Structure 1
Amino acid sequence: MNEQFHQHIEFLHPSFEALLCSVPFQFTSLPKVLPKAGIYLFSNGEQHLYVGRTNSIRKRLQQHCRSGSSHNSAAFAFRLAREACKVPQATYKPQGSRKDLLQDPDFALAFTDAKAQLRTMNIRVIEESNPFRQALLEMYVAIALAAPYNDFDNH
């Protein structure tokens, strides 16, 4: 194995364990001190749902959870709304696009409800500023927890 890659993956499991051992919080009680960059995990009780990575954890959590967040910044909530409305796949054609879906009052309500749901979920974070390790850790955590809302499909 390439030595540089090996050095990056050696930290994966210890960081995964540290993330799971961290004290969860809800968006409504964001800690005053959060890591700048790293991995975040949304869970509903003990069910781990979505893992993300960012260079600005506080800002990214706000984008996911704030009621005024757009379809482009609240991707997890948008996915929950698609599931609730039985819209299985995103499309990049005008009809069925994110913008088009939000014209449907039922879908718009489901999107608003999903953002509210995210605000009640448990959130855990762990610091990781190295972009390679951040990407690898996001994938490792998503695979290890079988996070149902993560996919690494190309769009």
Structure 2
Amino acid sequence: MHEKFRAYTEALHPKFEALMGMSPVTTGTLPPEMKGAGVYMFSENGRHLYVGRTRNVRSRYGQHTRTGTGHNNAPFAFKLARETTGILKSTYKSDETSRANLMLNSDFLGAFNNALARMRAMEFRFVEETDPPRQCLLEIYVSVACGSPYNDFDTH
């Protein structure tokens, strides 16, 4: 392994342990000390569902959970709504299954809003990581180690 890359990977497991060891937020309101850049995770009933990364955890949490947030700001809620409605695949065409058109579908919009509310009740964890390459690697590390089912690192 290249030494530069090894230096990045050596910090991953301690950060993973710090993330897993923190008491999760379960109230839908982040404590004041939870701020900055890093990696976050949504869990439900002890099952780790989704991992992400951000430059500003407070803003990103709001984008993921706030009522009225747009579909482009809440990819996890959008995935949950797809699952609930059975509309699992995107065609990437301007048809009824496009993201924008799904948000005009009242059943889908209801499922999306329910997903936002569900996410506010989920366990939320965060660990600070300000270095962008290390943050990217940590997101993948946590997702793979936890088996988060809603992370997809495939290209579109």
Work out whether the TM-score is over 0.5.
yes
Amino acid at match of 1:144: A
Match of 1:64 in 2: 64
TM superposition outliers: structure 1 runs of 4+ over 6 Å: none
Q: Return the offset for 1:34.
A: 1.3
Q: Which runs of 5+ in 1 are unaligned?
A: none
DSSP 3-state at the match of 2:100 = helix
What is the CA RMSD across the aligned residues, in angstroms? 0.9
Amino acid at match of 1:105: S
Amino acid at match of 2:35: P
1:16-47 CA-to-partner distances (Å, cap 9, x unmatched) read: 11100011003523101213000000000210
Q: Return the offset for 1:127.
A: 0.1
Match of 1:85 in 2: 85
Counterpart Cα distance in 2 of 1:27 and 1:126: 18
Amino acid at match of 2:112: F
DSSP 3-state at the match of 1:32 = coil
DSSP 3-state at the match of 1:29 = coil
Counterpart Cα distance in 1 of 2:12 and 2:84: 33
Match of 2:101 in 1: 100
Normalising by structure 2, report the TM-score.
0.96
Amino acid at match of 1:104: N
* Superposition pairs of residues 5-154 of structure 1, within 5 angstroms: 5-26=5-26, 28-95=28-95, 96-154=97-155
Match of 2:4 in 1: 4
Q: Which runs of 5+ in 2 are unaligned?
A: none
Q: How many residues align?
A: 155
DSSP 3-state at the match of 1:125 = strand
Amino acid at match of 1:128: E
